[in-house]
């Protein structure tokens, strides 16, 4: 295993221009290959934290380091490299799919990074195969089901061979079969995953470790099952397991 952490966040603090303080000195480290869920109530700062990872939000205080490279929103060359290393899959796949065919969507990133010809085709097909969507490569994305579009959105990120895969509410709006299929895909990936979710059973299934971000600070960082057995902790941070769910 690579000894350099995939992600190291040190004393990260951020205030929006209107004065709202979203993060207060967050420290977090993800080792290579770890799958970690990021939990917390709405307004906890989860989205603000995630948007720091690839420089969409510039660091005000503290630092974010991806595989040994500091995220610097002012350094365009460094930022381009970082955005290849941090793949974010947004909650709505239609935010990421805009080309005429599935294959063109998945090849878009590698093409813009300089890949051409047989190598571009190989990388595209490899990414689609990982999410079980290779047979749909010539389809228009808008002809696919929501669950299929989410898998293609994951493939667009995997095609860039990122250091970290960041997933924003990956199970939302999925029917039970699509939810299970996506879980099996994510389990099979040999990659560092940070999963932002309100879906506690999904976090338990996929992530051995979970972090609660609440009020802009890390309120808990522990083994997922141990954390979910702490009813008082969950209630304090407005997190709930489904009624009747058994650990």
**pLDDT per residue as tens digits for the range 209-220:** 999 999 999 999
Share of the chain above pLDDT 70, in %: 99
Specify the 3-state DSSP secondary structure of 12: strand
Query: What is the predicted pLDDT for the residue at 242?
Result: 87
Query: What is the predicted pLDDT for the residue at 151?
Result: 96
The pLDDT of 53-81, averaged and rounded, is 91
Q: Which residue is associated with the tokens 């890949």?
A: 115
Domain range summary for the chain, segments of one domain joined by +: 7-236
Q: Given a cut of 60, is residue 101 above it in pLDDT?
A: yes
Lowest mean pLDDT, pick from 20-29, 65-74, 163-172:
65-74
Q: What is the dihedral of CA 8, 43, 149, 125, to 10 degrees?
A: -10
The pLDDT of 125-142, averaged and rounded, is 97
Q: Given a cut of 90, is residue 154 above it in pLDDT?
A: yes
State the burial class of residue 145 (Cβ atoms within 10 Å of its Cβ: 0-12, 13-18, 19+). Answer: exposed
Total-model pTM:
0.93
Bridge-based pairing state of the strands 61-66 and 7-15: antiparallel
Q: Given a cut of 90, is residue 1 above it in pLDDT?
A: no
Query: What is the predicted pLDDT for the residue at 78?
Result: 85
Query: What is the predicted pLDDT for the residue at 5?
Result: 94
Confidence of residue 2 (pLDDT cuts 50, 70, 90): low
Bridge-based pairing state of the strands 217-223 and 192-196: unpaired
State the Cα–Cα distance between residues 98 and 140, nearest whole angstrom.
9
Q: Given a cut of 90, is residue 247 above it in pLDDT?
A: no
Average pLDDT value for the chain: 94
When the candidates are 3.50.50.60, 3.40.50.300, 3.40.367.20, 2.60.120.560, the CATH number that belongs to 7-236 is: 3.40.50.300
The pLDDT of 176-191, averaged and rounded, is 95
Q: Given a cut of 90, is residue 226 above it in pLDDT?
A: yes
Confidence of residue 185 (pLDDT cuts 50, 70, 90): very high
Share of the chain above pLDDT 90, in %: 89
State the Cα–Cα distance between residues 134 and 156, nearest whole angstrom.
12
Query: What is the predicted pLDDT for the residue at 73?
Result: 85
State the Cα–Cα distance between residues 108 and 124, nearest whole angstrom.
9
Q: Given a cut of 80, is residue 246 above it in pLDDT?
A: no
Q: Which residue is associated with the tokens 């720091």?
A: 52
């Amino acid at each position: 295993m690579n000894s350099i952490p995939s992600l190291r966040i040190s004393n990260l603090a951020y205030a929006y221009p209107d004065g709202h303080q979203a993060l207060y000195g967050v420290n977090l480290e993800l080792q290579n290959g770890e799958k970690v869920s990021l939990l917390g109530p709405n307004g906890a700062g989860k989205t603000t934290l995630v948007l720091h990872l690839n420089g969409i939000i510039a660091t005000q205080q503290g630092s974010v380091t991806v595989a040994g490279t500091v995220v610097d929103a002012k350094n365009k060359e460094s930022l381009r490299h970082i955005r290849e290393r941090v793949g974010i899959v947004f909650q709505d796949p239609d935010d990421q799919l805009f080309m005429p065919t599935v294959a063109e969507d998945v090849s878009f990133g590698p093409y813009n990074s300089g890949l051409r010809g047989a190598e571009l085709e190989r990388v595209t097909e490899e990414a689609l195969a990982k999410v079980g969507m290779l047979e749909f490569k010539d389809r228009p994305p808008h002809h696919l089901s929501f669950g299929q579009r989410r898998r293609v959105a994951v493939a667009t990120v995997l095609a860039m061979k990122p250091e970290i895969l960041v997933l924003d509410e990956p199970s939302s709006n999925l029917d039970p079969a699509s939810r299970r299929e996506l879980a099996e895909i994510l389990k099979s990936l040999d990659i560092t995953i940070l999963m932002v979710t309100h879906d506690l059973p999904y976090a338990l299934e996929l992530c051995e470790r979970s972090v609660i971000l609440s009020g802009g600070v890390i309120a808990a960082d522990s083994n997922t099952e141990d954390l979910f057995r702490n009813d008082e902790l969950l209630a304090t941070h407005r997190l709930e397991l489904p009624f009747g769910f058994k650990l």
